[in-house]
Amino acid sequence: MSRSLVIVTDSTAYLPRAAIESHAIRVVPLTVVLGREALEDGTEEAGRRLEQALRQRQPVTTSRPGPSMFAAAYRAAAEAGATGIVSLHLSSEISGTYDAAVVAARAAPVPVRVVDSGMVAMALGFAVLAAAEVTAVGGTLDEAVAGAVKRAEATRAYFYVDTLEHLRRGGRIGAAQALLGSALAVKPLLELTEGRIELREKVRTAGKAIARLEELAVDHAGAGPVDIAVHHVAAGERAAQLAERLSRRLPGLAELHVSEVGAVLGAHTGPGLLGVVVSPR
């Protein structure tokens, strides 16, 4: 496999370790800040400490990587023989990560194409893998970017949270939408739309919300080849059950990933998150 073109992403893609290693993807981590302590996103310790902090209602914030971290990643890739880099990141509507990558790319020693996926978690991850697959067969920088963009545009991400309060505190959803959910005592179903987290539907109970999540996933997947990711925060049993039901209902299912998201996304959603990423091939 050629490594002349390298893929860089950030930790919120939550890619399986095997996929990162197989495609030699370089991952730049975001940071979760618990009190005065900063921890790298994607580590077991960060996830464990986040759960404790949320349970104890301690202050939790997150931080994007600085341009210097991207500059170091681009420089290391070039020194290892890269002649071009595709740098794919979570939505610029919910993080400054993309902007930091753009700044670093201007001074990179090789051409860098920075892409705002408009997505997060495996909705970003599947776009990263699409670019990696293009580079693996000798595709050009432009072809890798096009492959990633096409995949991201076809992908949908739906998710359920027990409360909108964590998203409101972090500024990732409007106060009016959060207040609406609380005032009506409804269970919110959310969707990533044009890079933003939007309230899609309001459902009366958690059980009905999860059933509706399943239907949305099945509807978008259709009968063709599709990759699915089921994400959760401290809701492993629910995630496993949903994944099992989807595996029975999707005739074109190619890959199915089930994982707990890292501390950065968990900090903004709180425990109880259940999400489904639907990515037609």
- What does the alpha-carbon distance between residue 211 and residue 191 come to, in Å, rounded to a whole number? 15
- What is the percent of the chain where pLDDT is above 90? 68
Q: What is the pLDDT of residue 257?
A: 96
5-30+65-153 shares its CATH topology with 156-280: no
Q: What is the pLDDT of residue 57?
A: 78
Average pLDDT over the chain, rounded to an integer: 89
For 70-120, where are the E strands, in sequence order? 84-89, 112-116
- What does the alpha-carbon distance between residue 9 and residue 189 come to, in Å, rounded to a whole number? 27
32 Cβ contact list (under 8 Å, min separation 6)? 38, 39, 41, 46, 50, 60, 61, 62, 63, 263, 264, 267
Q: What is the pLDDT of residue 164?
A: 67
**CATH fold for the domain made of 5-30+65-153:** Rossmann fold (3.40.50)
Amino acid letter, residue 82 = A
What dotted CATH number matches 156-280?
A: 3.30.1180.10
Burial 61-93 (b: 16+ CB within 10 A, else e): ebebbebebbbebbbebbeeebebbbbbbbbbe
Which of 6-20, 29-43, 87-101, 118-132 has the least mean pLDDT?
A: 29-43
Model confidence pLDDT, tens digit, residues 232-245 = 998 999 999 999 99
Query: Which has more confidence, 1 or 34?
Result: 34
**DSSP labels for 112-127?**
EEEEE-S--THHHHHH
* Statement: residue 1 has pLDDT above 90: no
- What does the alpha-carbon distance between residue 220 and residue 87 come to, in Å, rounded to a whole number? 27
Instruction: Note whether 225 and 252 are within 8 A (CB).
Output: yes
Query: Which has more confidence, 34 or 257?
Result: 257
Model confidence pLDDT, tens digit, residues 66-83 = 999 999 999 999 999 999
- What does the alpha-carbon distance between residue 164 and residue 58 come to, in Å, rounded to a whole number? 17
Q: What is the pLDDT of residue 178?
A: 47
Q: What is the pLDDT of residue 3?
A: 65
- What does the alpha-carbon distance between residue 225 and residue 12 come to, in Å, rounded to a whole number? 25
Q: What is the pLDDT of residue 205?
A: 85
**DSSP labels for 126-177?**
HHHHHHHHHHHTT--HHHHHHHHHHHHHH-EEEEE-S-SHHHHHTTSS-HHH
Q: What is the pLDDT of residue 36?
A: 80
Positive or negative, the CA dihedral 194, 197, 198, 204 is: positive
Instruction: Please report, for residues 141, 176, 260, 275, 278, the alpha-carbon distance to residue 153 in angstroms, rounded to integers and kept in the order given.
Output: 18, 28, 24, 18, 11
Q: What is the pTM of this model?
A: 0.91
Q: What is the pLDDT of residue 19?
A: 96
pLDDT band at 169 (very low <50, low <70, confident <90, very high): low
3-class SS of residue 94: coil
Average pLDDT over residues 48-69: 86
Phi/psi for 7 (5° steps) reads: -100, 130
Model confidence pLDDT, tens digit, residues 121-150 = 999 999 999 999 999 999 999 999 999 999
Model confidence pLDDT, tens digit, residues 209-219 = 899 999 999 99
Q: How far is CA 167 from the centre of its chain?
A: 15
Q: What is the pLDDT of residue 111?
A: 97
pLDDT band at 175 (very low <50, low <70, confident <90, very high): very low
* Statement: residue 207 has pLDDT above 50: yes
Domain boundaries, the chain: 5-30+65-153, 156-280
* Statement: residue 176 has pLDDT above 50: no
